[in-house]
Amino acid sequence: MPEDPWSFDPSCGHLAGMDLTEWRVEAADGHIGVVNEQSDEAGNAFLVVDAGGWIFGKLLIPAGAVTRIDRAGRTLHLGLRRGQVEDAPQFLPDPDQGDREYREDVVEYYRKTGPC
């Protein structure tokens, strides 16, 4: 996880204001799901990914996990493995997203599981 996990890395190809809703999300070793919602607010950028049937619920993925954006294929590539995402903390609804402890837990989980 990069130094600032809540910001898109400039090298990934993200442009401010880019709507990523319904784009495919790919881990290093396979498909994860689709973007259900996003925030690209500076210092608070993240994706909410609907993983479909293989994981119950939705996942909060910090924007710093995005390594590459394929605009033509409408696909986001993550620097994470499927297993890392599968065991990640579940997405919490709006009132809890801003909770500092929850956000720290999400980042700590991804840092602890290491790069893909």
Q: Indicate if the pLDDT at residue 114 is higher than 80.
A: no
Residue-wise pLDDT tens digits, 29-82: 999 999 999 988 878 899 999 987 767 778 889 999 999 999 999 999 999 998
Specify the CATH number for 10-113; select among 2.30.30.240, 2.60.40.2470, 3.30.70.120, 3.40.50.261.
2.30.30.240
3-state DSSP call for residue 70? strand
Residue-wise pLDDT tens digits, 83-99: 888 888 778 776 555 57
Q: Indicate if the pLDDT at residue 116 is higher than 60.
A: no
Q: What local confidence, expressed as pLDDT, does residue 87 receive?
A: 81
Domain boundaries, the chain: 10-113
